[in-house]
Structure 1
Amino acid sequence: STFPIEEQRFLFTSSEAVCDILDSSCLLFIVSSTKVNETIIAFRGTKSTSQLLLEGWDTYGVGSDFIGMGKVNRYFLRAQDKLWRAVLEFLARFEYRDHSMIFTGHSLGGAMAALTAARTVKQGYSPASAVRLYTFGQPRTGSYEFAKNFDALGFESYRVVYASDIVPHQPFCRKDELAPPNREGSRPCRANKDDEAYHHGVEIWYPESMKPGSLYLECLGEPKNEDMNCSDQLTFDMSNMDAFVWDHKHYFDVMVSGFGISGCSDRLIGSEKPTQSYVSKVIS
């Protein structure tokens, strides 16, 4: 029920690999259609609390160079490397050479999707015109230098952020202390330090709801990729952490992990959001 039957999509392969010292796994699916000449490469998000902690610990360590594009999170880089062989095997198949490609993922999966899309274009496996990237709740994946070089590759790239999901704001960017704070006390990210955490791609922010027809913003303001009119305007009081984590786990009115387990059922399976609408207070 995930795709229209007439598109004749099929599972080309799935690949799972151990990503860290706690034997946490990373997983991708490659779904293809010769009928519409399109392939989707989807990466699973963070599976366990311990995996999320390891990602966080690595985030604050020294980054690793990513194919000459700048520094990226070491955990994300290792995870992407583990699954790259499966992507290469697909890219080597002659019959798929003309396919457009969509890379996607939630949370950790979004970071791996971004690195894989960039690598596919940077190393000449597919032209930028044939590549699209859509991620959900993606953390900052690399440095400001990486973000600049990523954007320069020229393929379509959107990061969807729901309400006060805190993960897209991890690791925290270095704030511009010379800029005046907004009414919530937030300042813009510095857009001039090559080795500091910074987002690539255009943010799409749903400030309150993700039901069909809900308001969303295409964030094209300043600083580029870190638009202060979108989710960067928020501050995060850790006493509201349950609400921030809830937003990370619920996209388009479903609990992301439960949606997959249910076989992508059309029914809504999200749980009730904790307490107040934090974002409503900020944007009202």
Structure 2
Amino acid sequence: MIGVILFVCVYIYSPNSVNSYVMTNYNDSVVRRVVYPLTSASYGTTPELCLKDIFADGQLVRQYTVLCDRTQKHTCSGYLAYSTSAQAIFLVFRGSSSTEQVNEEFLETVTTFPISFPLGGRVNPYFFKALQIILTSGLEQDLIYITKLLPGFSLWVSGHSLGAGLASLAAGHIAYKGYVPPSQITLITFGQPRTGNYVFAKTIDKVIPNTWRVTHRKDLVPVIVPLYAHHNREVWYNNSMAPGQPFVICGTDDDQECVMSGSGHNWDDHSNYFNVDSYFAVNGCKNIPH
């Protein structure tokens, strides 16, 4: 969803000491105590509550919720925010809001040819069209304004599930447009489905090196859409993700030894990250998992 200091124990309690941080090395504390709560907050209608719980000076620019598919029944959503003390801009996307929306995503994915992505490769048509609708609803204009207003700020882009796919495309779009230098972008996703083809995945690897795909145990969503490919770098927790539990930085884009391994993939591991439900921060995040 965030240019924050890596040493979250300092950053959380003294946000004014933070300086435009980019996560070049994965840090569990930052992701657990900052990025995931902000991502969870996207499932609600008041993400500023969680934002203010983490950054006293956090400012919500806008939340963008739009009808986003051919049924004209389902919405996609994201929000843009920033913290001047952290020198950080946050772009966060919500996941699917219903089983019916998940079914529509799958149907369009398997019946529609992947769409050409300007940065490179081809991508999921549902995700691409949804992002375009969000961008034209005001996000594009606000991105241009905020990135000019706050030059040098880091941009952290995040999302869960469908939101993870949108985050990946949004980060690529921003890099392509040049709103923020790719070296200032950190992309962190949770339970991301494969979002594009091999060329797209390799393009993201090359253009946005500070990218982390967090996966949980036997999460079903990262293993579906077999004709598409994942980009780097997967961070796999083969446990409940409770504080202090280990993780693995996986070796390849579709590492068969990480979330792809074995059988028994399920939805429970998809909806629960860091030992809390994906909706846990919709009314604020004072109870951040430690």
Q: Would you call these one fold, judging by a TM-score over 0.5?
A: yes
**TM-score (structure 2 length as normaliser):** 0.76
Q: Which residue of 1 aligns with 2:256?
A: 228
Letter in 2 for 1:92: I
**Rounded Cα–Cα distance in structure 2 between residues aligned with 1:249 and 1:5:** 22
**Rounded Cα–Cα distance in structure 2 between residues aligned with 1:41 and 1:264:** 17
SS of equivalent to 2:200: helix
1:59 Cα deviation (Å)?
A: 1.9
1:158-197 equivalences in 2 (<5 Å): 158-172=212-226, 196-197=227-228
Q: Identity across aligned pairs (percent)?
A: 32
1:1-284 equivalences in 2 (<5 Å): 2-3=50-51, 7-20=56-69, 21-61=71-111, 62-67=113-118, 69-85=120-136, 86-93=138-145, 94-172=148-226, 196-220=227-251, 224-236=252-264, 244-257=266-279, 259-266=280-287
Unaligned runs of 5+ in 2: 1-48
**TM-score (structure 1 length as normaliser):** 0.78
- Assess if the C-alpha contact under 8 Å between 1:84 and 1:116 holds in 2: no
- Assess if the C-alpha contact under 8 Å between 1:19 and 1:26 holds in 2: yes
**Rounded Cα–Cα distance in structure 2 between residues aligned with 1:170 and 1:89:** 33
SS of equivalent to 1:32: strand
**Rounded Cα–Cα distance in structure 1 between residues aligned with 2:288 and 2:63:** 26
- Assess if the C-alpha contact under 8 Å between 2:88 and 2:155 holds in 1: yes
1:215 Cα deviation (Å)?
A: 1.3
- Assess if the C-alpha contact under 8 Å between 2:50 and 2:283 holds in 1: no
- Assess if the C-alpha contact under 8 Å between 1:91 and 1:97 holds in 2: no
**Rounded Cα–Cα distance in structure 2 between residues aligned with 1:160 and 1:5:** 21
- Which is worse superposed, 84-93 or 40-49? 84-93
Letter in 2 for 1:65: S
**Rounded Cα–Cα distance in structure 2 between residues aligned with 1:165 and 1:265:** 27
- Assess if the C-alpha contact under 8 Å between 1:44 and 1:109 holds in 2: yes
What is the total number of aligned residue pairs between the two structures?
235
1:155 Cα deviation (Å)?
A: 3.3
From the CA coordinates, give the structure whose radius of gyration is larger.
1
- Which is worse superposed, 163-172 or 29-38? 29-38
1:226 Cα deviation (Å)?
A: 0.9
CA distance change for structure 1 residues 166 and 6 in 2, over 3 Å: closer, same or farther?
Answer: closer
**Rounded Cα–Cα distance in structure 2 between residues aligned with 1:140 and 1:226:** 10
- Assess if the C-alpha contact under 8 Å between 1:32 and 1:39 holds in 2: yes
- Assess if the C-alpha contact under 8 Å between 1:209 and 1:215 holds in 2: no
* Higher relative contact order (CA closer than 8 Å, sequence separation 6+): 2
CA RMSD of aligned residues (A): 1.9
CA distance change for structure 1 residues 68 and 130 in 2, over 3 Å: closer, same or farther?
Answer: closer
**Rounded Cα–Cα distance in structure 1 between residues aligned with 2:286 and 2:153:** 28
**Rounded Cα–Cα distance in structure 2 between residues aligned with 1:40 and 1:200:** 21
Letter in 1 for 2:210: E
User: Which runs of 4 or more aligned residues in structure 1 lie more than 4 Å from their structure 2 counterparts after TM superposition?
Assistant: 3-7
SS of equivalent to 1:28: strand
CA distance change for structure 1 residues 261 and 38 in 2, over 3 Å: closer, same or farther?
Answer: closer
CA distance change for structure 1 residues 76 and 212 in 2, over 3 Å: closer, same or farther?
Answer: same
1:267 Cα deviation (Å)?
A: 7.3
**Rounded Cα–Cα distance in structure 2 between residues aligned with 1:169 and 1:40:** 27
Q: Deviations over 1:73-106 (max 9, x none)?
A: 1100011111123332233223123211000000
- Assess if the C-alpha contact under 8 Å between 1:2 and 1:264 holds in 2: yes
Unaligned runs of 5+ in 1: 173-195, 269-284
**Rounded Cα–Cα distance in structure 2 between residues aligned with 1:89 and 1:22:** 24
Letter in 2 for 1:111: G
1:36 Cα deviation (Å)?
A: 2.1
1:12 Cα deviation (Å)?
A: 1.1
